[in-house]
Each structure stands twice: as C-alpha cells, then as structure tokens.
Chain A
Amino acid sequence: MSDNQQFQKFTSDPAVMQMIAKAKEKNIPTVWNRYEQMLPQCGFGETGLCCRHCLQGPCRINPFEEGAKTGICGATADVMVARGLDRAIAAGTAAHSGHAKHLAHTLLKMTQGKARDYKITDPVKLKKVAARMNIAVDDRKDNEIARDVALAALADFHEKETPVMWAASVVTPGRVKVLSGLGIVPKGIDHEISEIMHRTLYGVDADPVNLLLGGLRCSVADLAGCYMGTDLADILFGTPTPQVTCANLGTLKSGSVNVALHGHNPVLSEVIVQVAEAMQDEAIQAGADGINVVGICCTGNELMERHGIPSCTHSVSQEMALLTGAIDVMIVDYQCIMPSVASVAECMGTKVITTMDICKITGATHIEVKDETAAENAKQALTHAISSFKARKNRKTDIPEIKNTVVAGFSTESIVAALSKLNDKDPLAPLVDNIKSGNIKGLCLFAGCNNVKISQDINYTTMTAKLLKENVLVVATGCGAGSLMRHDFMDPSKTEELCGKGLFTVLNAIGEANGLGGPLPPVLHLGSCVDNSRAIEIAVALANYLGVDTDKLPVVASAPEPTSEKAISIGTYAVSAGLPTHVGVMLPITGGPLVTRILTQDVKELTGGYFIVEPDPNKAADVLLQALDERRAGLGLE
C-alpha cells in the first residue's frame, strides 16, 4: 500500500497527506496516531451510558443487559444521556457566548477609551443592531450607541425581566410564539448555562423530556451568543464583503515570517494583523520577505471574511501546519486548540504563544493579550515570531505546493447587496423567485469541525458535491467552510462544473450583475462558527419575506464531521429554529432509546426541526434532499 492510500483513511486533503507522511518519517505523533492508540473507544462513553455527575459513580448502564437498568441513584439510561447532552449544549453555549462576552467587554472598554487599539469600523451595522435592540440611534454619537449596545449585550447574560434579546429579536415572530409555548425562551445566557449545570446535578432533573426541553432552551441561548458574537465583531472590525484569497498549506511562504493565528476571537487576531502590517520593515531587516499572517480554524475564517487573509488549514490538521517547519509562531486564543500543538511545535523548533488567561498550554509561551494593551502585547508576540524566523531561515521547510483559490466573505449584508444588483427595490425577490421556480431547490448550511473518526473533509465534499448537483444553495461556516475551501468548493472557476444547471444560472447571474465577470463561488463562505448566526439571519429574512416560520422553509443544516461540543449546541439550535439537522458522527445519546426517538422524531412536532444521525455521507445527502422536497411540498412548490 502506498503512503497516500494508507493516509486516505486519515484525510482527503492532499496537502495534509504530505505532512502526515512527514510526521511518520520524523516519528512525530499526530492526532491520527493518538486516535489509533485510543482504540477501541469505550462503548459506554460512545452511547452516553457512563455518568460521572456524582462521586458515587461512575455508573455505567449496559445496554445489552435485560430489564430496566439504572445508575446507582436510579437514573435511567434516558436520564443519563439527556443529562450528558444538556451539559454538552451548555458547554457549547458557554464557548460561543464567552467569545461574544469578550467582544462586548472590548466594545464597552473602547467606548470608555480604555481600549485604544479598537474602534467602530462599521457604524451602519452598529445602528442596525442598536435598532434591533430598541436602542435610540437618532442624533446620537456612535460611541454612545456602541456603549448602549455593549451594555445591552452584557445584560443579556444574566437573568432579568426581559428574555435574552439576542434570541427574541433575531427569530421570526412565529418562532417566538413556538419557543414561548414550549417555555424555552432563554432568560439570560449565563443563567441558562448555570441552570443546565443545576438541573443535571446529582438528584435534580430526572425526566428525560424535561431535561431535553432544558437543553433546547440553552441552545436558544447559544444562538443568542453566536448572533451577538457576529454582530459585535462586525461593528468593531467590519461586516464582511467578498474577498478573493486562498487557502491550504501552500499559503505559507518559506521566505517570510509566517505567523499562524489559531482559535476564534477576532479581538486578538485583528490587532495582530494591524501590528504585523506595521512591523513588516522589522521583518525585512531580519532577512524575511515580510510577515505572512495566515489563519487556522475560525480565526482563519474571521480574518478571511474581513481581510482576505489566507487560511492555512483547519481543525483536525492543525498540527500539520507546524509540520511544514515554516511557521515561526502560532498565536492562539481559545477553543479547538489541540494541546498537542505545543509538543509538535517543540519538535519543529518553533513555538506556540497562548494569549488568554483561560487558555494556557504546558510547553507554550504565554503572553497575556489584554484589551487595554492589545497592540503592545501583539508586538511582543510578533517579536518572538521574527526572532524565531531568524533561527529557522536557513532550515529546510516542507510547504506543500497546494493552494486553493477562495472567494469568501458572504455576510447577509453582502449577499443582499449583491442581490440588489438584480433588483434594488426588492433584493430578496430574485432569490425567492429562483427557489420557487426550482432553480434553487433549497438551502443547506454546512457547519462544524473535522473529526478524526472520519477521513478529513470527505463527508463535506461528498455531501456538498451531491447537493450542488441537485441545485441546493450551499453555505458554510467554521471548519466546514475550511474543508470546502480546501477542496475548491469556493473557487468561482469551479461553479459551472460543480453546480446543477439551475443553481449555476442563479450564481452566474448574481456574479455578472456584480461585475465579477463570472459566477459566485459554488459554496458561499459565511464565516466562523459564531457566524452560523448569518445562516439563521438569512433563513429568518426568507421566512419573513414569505410570511412563514423558519420550520416551513426548504432549509436544512448539516454538521457532517462534528467534534466540539459547540457543534452539538449549534445543531440543537438549528433544531430549535425548525431545521432538519444532520450529524455525521454518532452522538452520545444512542444509549437512551426515548431520547434518541425524541431528538430524531418527536421533536419535529414541537419545533419543526429534528436530528438526522447518519454517518454515511451519500445517504445523508439523500435524506437532506428528501427533507428539502418535503418542505417544498409543504409550501406548495414543485
């Protein structure tokens, strides 16, 4: 078996394959080695039937034993898996909203003059958000509005008289009714997370249905956190507009100081990008061609959608970026950073710099980046990068010559702007008309991560290829977007080849009307994982335009290679929003037959959405197509 065939079970990205071969040759352990060592994985954990919520445990329920089995406290299998799922949703919610809260604090400090390295970049978005929050905008200074927006954002975290505004004001009026009816409108984002921790404690909620409703409510709080994250980032750093750029390991430059920014929050990466620009000369003096900033994971998406900064790689292949030997420093904030990057960096003679108080890694250098001193801290980190470059500049690097063309940066605003070139009075009309005519069968959002259990990207590419041919308009976020961009799905020159006729016609018409001289890319890049809010925003706009609720739209979601608990909370809010939502990895709930049935069937009666658990990407695509047909039929469309 050739190496490449052997590595196909790890990844379908040829650049990553080259680096896996290198890791093998240099005997550097990677995520795939560790996964193989971890096999077989514990079946109790896989099915959600291991409970460690109290010190009497761990309790395991053997699904093969006869009779009703319970944990020591009496919790049934369904209670156990529902509790576990709730905690995963709470963790995902805490991460997205933690990201948003960070932005809110930065925005507030900026208005108070305490964070001088930040400014309001998009006052239009500021006013749009303020208006949605019932904050007065007329005759007020941007700074004042921004202050009120930041305070409103922070107020959404605790329990208060009003519901979470970033939830209640961003969905359709119909959805507010549905959620209220089920008692799942969140009261405060942190409150919901805390309440999940409470109700899943030893000896509290032991009704699987009630637990699941609690999980759904928390997921709506997660939507709020994501939405807020997008809003505030757009205000501070600009609302994305289409950018022509590139992706994959070939974006690294052997002669430059390569700075990889990894993690999530633009609060860090935006400042690094600014300071890097200012330090180009310093790099050149050190013998480099300049500083080459690249992104990894969602930081990559945030920088790409606003500045066209290239994305180096994503998710499960993050170690591979370091294996090129070309990265001079990897600067990280939080979320999805495998601790192993520190040891791979050490093997490759480079370093990882952690920047956030809540995310330190043994073996990494920590430089705390604070809002108040961000540029100064960034400079410190980049100085490390330059000295690191000096040390490695004569060493051989192994940068795969693989670079994919990407057009990214499709916010709701930029999509509407593009559509308005076709109909400036009624910009949504061309899109809706094409959905009605069947040129566009429907919409599918791809979100989530890569998962070591699946050959990297293969589920995304298999499903997307199938859906595009069936004229489904595909949008993508997070590492899902990362996957698709590294396989040319965001390259406009591939639109004709990849898309069905109807879809191509639409994408081409929009492209031509916007003077691109060709179509939009086959898949629209909506940004990072908090930017799943943009997909919700688009769905809500369509629903309101059609006068229906989101659970009637031909819109589906899929996380075909999920890893993080954030993917679970996102998937759950997609279900809360009424979307058929596919997951390509078994969720640790299958040990609870009732919970499994509720989430894959019965919840449809409540929110209109439901989970589809299907590991086979071909079958999954078929099921999603069926769901779209069902929705179209519901709207009376062919």
Chain B
Amino acid sequence: MPDYKEIFVKTDICTGCNTCKLACAVEHSKTKNLFEAMFETPKPKSRLYVEWVPENTRIPVLCRHCEDAPCINACISGAITRSDQGTVVTDTDKCIGCWTCVMVCPYGVIGRDKALHKAYRCDRCPDLEVPACVASCPTKALVYESVDTFSADRRKAVSKELVTGKGV
C-alpha cells in the first residue's frame, strides 16, 4: 500500500474548540464560505466529531479509512470503495441509507444525512492539499502526515522529552 498521508490527532494539545468541525462543514458546503454556508439548505455537515473524556481529554474522532475497513465489506449496495488516494469513499448515488456501515463502524464516525438519506464521512478533502480540519486547527492538534513521518516526529518528541526531562 502506498504511503498515503493520514490525519493524526495529538490529543494532548486539542483544546476542544470545535473549530475543525466548522471548517469541515464549510469545506463540504456549496459556497465554501462560513457566512453563506450557514444558510444553505440542506445544511452542510461536519464529518468529524470532537469528543470529551473526563477529566480533561478532548479527542477529535474521524474516519480512519481503515486498511481492512469493515464498512466496505458490510455495505449491501456496493457503495463503499477504496479510492486511488487510499480513502474509503461512499458513492452517494449507490448508497441506499440502510445504515449497515453505521452498524459496523467501530469508531462511530459514519454520519447519517437524514435529509438526503445517505451515509457520509470524512473524505480527507480531496480538493485540498491539506484537509480543512487540519488547516483550521489553532493548536495544530490535527496533523496531516504519512504514518512514517508522524511516527518519526513522535519518536523525536518523546526522545527530546526524555533527554530534557521536559514535555514538548
């Protein structure tokens, strides 16, 4: 499998501001402009979720585009496929809104568009160089990297922490 970039989350620096959710909805709107997007019908949907775990952890959750994606296997209409960019994509023309993908997704990141009666999820913003959520994150808690680069950066950070005795 080629080394695609993925969206990673640094939960230690997420402040739970939900900016990513707004940016995501705007990017998936018709006008791509916050002030106009708010008044669109149907309302554009954010495809990621910011969850909270007591006492103080905020966790943005979004489609992992799993290598062995249960939703692809489960889909009863053949609407879910893997794209050339490595993402798991729902073809809305084929989706019949049976929600089997919702039933099998262990991350809970497939949404139901009630107006359109279609499932939706993160598409990693195929038209953008950097996905809207990552670009919008004020604390850089969302990172768009290949697995290797992300792991290498994490290793470096942890090593520095060990050497200096300080958090980074």
Query: Direct contact between A and B in the complex (CB less than 8 angstroms)?
Result: yes
**Could you give, for residues 43-61 of chain B, a 1 whenever the CB lies within 8 Å of some chain A CB and a 0 otherwise?**
1111000000000000000
A582 to chain B, nearest CB (A): 16
State whether A40 and B136 are in contact (beta carbons under 8 Å apart), knowing that A64-B44, A66-B114 are contacts in the complex: yes
Q: Is the CB of A43 within 8 A of B114?
A: no
Q: Is the CB of B135 within 8 A of A40?
A: yes
Q: Tell me the A567-589 residues at the B interface (CB within 8 Å).
A: 586
Q: B102 an interface residue at 8 Å Cβ cutoff?
A: no
Between A60, A63, A65, the greatest number of chain B beta carbons within 10 A of the residue's beta carbon is seen for A63
Identify the stretch in B2-10, B34-42, B63-71 within 8 Å (CB) of chain A at 4 or more residues: B34-42
State whether A44 and B22 are in contact (beta carbons under 8 Å apart), knowing that A64-B44, A66-B114 are contacts in the complex: yes
Q: B72 — which chain A residues lie within 8 A by C-beta? A: none
Q: B138 — which chain A residues lie within 8 A by C-beta? A: 40, 42
Q: Is the CB of A43 within 8 A of B43?
A: no
The number of chain A residues with a CB under 8 A from chain B is 16
A48 to chain B, nearest CB (A): 11
Q: B146 an interface residue at 8 Å Cβ cutoff?
A: no
Between B17, B18, B34, B135, the greatest number of chain A beta carbons within 10 A of the residue's beta carbon is seen for B34
Q: Is the CB of A44 within 8 A of B38?
A: no
* B19: contacting residue among A42, A63, A590, CB under 8 A: A42
Q: A451 an interface residue at 8 Å Cβ cutoff?
A: no
* B22: contacting residue among A62, A66, A590, A593, CB under 8 A: A62
Q: Is the CB of A43 within 8 A of B46?
A: no
Q: A47 an interface residue at 8 Å Cβ cutoff?
A: yes
Q: B21 — which chain A residues lie within 8 A by C-beta? A: 62, 64
- Closest chain B residue, CB of each to CB of A58: B17
Q: B25 an interface residue at 8 Å Cβ cutoff?
A: yes
* B38: contacting residue among A40, A42, A47, A66, CB under 8 A: A47
A540 to chain B, nearest CB (A): 35
* A47: contacting residue among B17, B34, B136, CB under 8 A: B34
- Closest chain B residue, CB of each to CB of A60: B18
Q: How far is the CA of A64 from the CA of B25 in the complex (A)?
A: 7
A218 to chain B, nearest CB (A): 25
B60 to chain A, nearest CB (A): 14
Q: A290 an interface residue at 8 Å Cβ cutoff?
A: no
- Closest chain B residue, CB of each to CB of A38: B138
Q: A46 an interface residue at 8 Å Cβ cutoff?
A: yes
Q: Is the CB of B39 within 8 A of A43?
A: no
Q: B23 an interface residue at 8 Å Cβ cutoff?
A: yes
Q: A591 an interface residue at 8 Å Cβ cutoff?
A: yes
Q: How far is the CA of A590 from the CA of B23 in the complex (A)?
A: 16
* A64: contacting residue among B35, B43, B114, CB under 8 A: B43
State whether A43 and B45 are in contact (beta carbons under 8 Å apart), knowing that A586-B35, A590-B35 are contacts in the complex: no
**Could you give, for residues 75-94 of chain A, a 1 whenever the CB lies within 8 Å of some chain B CB and a 0 otherwise?**
00000000000000000000
Between B25, B38, B44, B45, the greatest number of chain A beta carbons within 10 A of the residue's beta carbon is seen for B38
- Closest chain A residue, CB of each to CB of B24: A64
Q: How far is the CA of A593 from the CA of B22 in the complex (A)?
A: 17
State whether A64 and B18 are in contact (beta carbons under 8 Å apart), knowing that A43-B23, A46-B34, A590-B38 are contacts in the complex: no
Q: Is the CB of B25 within 8 A of A593?
A: no
Q: A593 — which chain B residues lie within 8 A by C-beta? A: 38-39
B118 to chain A, nearest CB (A): 15
Q: Is the CB of A62 within 8 A of B46?
A: yes
B17 to chain A, nearest CB (A): 6
Q: Is the CB of A43 within 8 A of B44?
A: no
Q: How far is the CA of A46 from the CA of B22 in the complex (A)?
A: 11
State whether A64 and B23 are in contact (beta carbons under 8 Å apart), knowing that A40-B136, A42-B17, A44-B18 are contacts in the complex: no
Q: How far is the CA of A43 from the CA of B39 in the complex (A)?
A: 15
B55 to chain A, nearest CB (A): 17
Q: B45 — which chain A residues lie within 8 A by C-beta? A: 64
A113 to chain B, nearest CB (A): 56
Q: How far is the CA of A60 from the CA of B20 in the complex (A)?
A: 13
- Closest chain A residue, CB of each to CB of B22: A43
Q: How far is the CA of A599 from the CA of B19 in the complex (A)?
A: 27
- Closest chain A residue, CB of each to CB of B132: A40
Q: How far is the CA of A66 from the CA of B114 in the complex (A)?
A: 10
Q: How far is the CA of A44 from the CA of B136 in the complex (A)?
A: 13
Nearest 4 CB-CB pairings of A with B:
A43-B22, A64-B25, A63-B38, A40-B136
- Known pairs A64-B25, A64-B37, A64-B44. 13 more at Cβ < 8 A? A40-B138, A42-B19, A43-B22, A43-B26, A44-B19, A47-B35, A62-B18, A62-B22, A63-B22, A64-B43, A66-B114, A586-B35, A591-B38
Q: Can you list 29 residue pairs at the A/B interface with Cβ under 8 Å?
A: A40-B23, A40-B135, A40-B136, A40-B138, A42-B19, A42-B138, A43-B19, A43-B23, A43-B34, A44-B19, A44-B22, A46-B34, A47-B35, A62-B18, A62-B25, A63-B22, A63-B38, A64-B21, A64-B37, A64-B43, A64-B44, A65-B43, A66-B43, A66-B114, A586-B35, A590-B35, A590-B38, A591-B38, A593-B38
